[in-house]
Amino acid sequence: MSADIIKKIELKSLTDADYKRQFVGCLVITKDNKIHLQQRGEDWKSFPGYLCEFGGRIEAGELPMQALIRELNEELGAIVKEIDVISLGAVTEQSSNYADLIHVYCWRDKQGTITGCYEGEARSFDTVEEILKHPRKSDALCWMLDECKKRGVF
């Protein structure tokens, strides 16, 4: 992936004023080792029809990990244990004109706590290659898949 589409951000050098809007994004791996993603509907405001990671906006007063746990519970009914979460860092995307910061994670649902998909349509894949064949996928998702492969997550 081209470095000009996704930029990795060093969190230790940030101030609260650097990014007004911050989000969490998470690749989810199910108990049976499927890569679990969200297919957005064509009527969505942002990235309509795209295959995306799960996550959302960090609310005022929330830490990124708190937002991740809340979002995965809201979107999947999941019970996330922080110890099972891998932090991949933080990125900003060309698609937001580098104005938004996304704290990116990978979480393996070791206990099988996912109860459904309450936002978008759940799509599960056996391999990264299957995902990459999808015609519309977010840049952050592609970056996260590549980063997880580099780290030996799958």
Q: What is the pLDDT of residues 118-148, one digit of tens each?
A: 999 999 999 999 999 999 999 999 999 999 9
Kindly tell me if the per-residue pLDDT of 2 is higher than 60.
no
Give the CB-side neighbour count of residue 58, counting CA atoms within 13 A.
20
Alpha-carbon gap, residue 83 to 94, rounded angstroms:
31
| 6-150 maps to CATH 3.30.300.30 | no
Per-residue confidence (pLDDT) for residue 73, from 0 to 100: 98
User: pTM, whole model, 2 decimals?
Assistant: 0.93
User: Tens digit of pLDDT for each residue in 61-112?
Assistant: 999 999 999 999 999 999 999 999 999 999 999 988 999 999 999 999 999 9
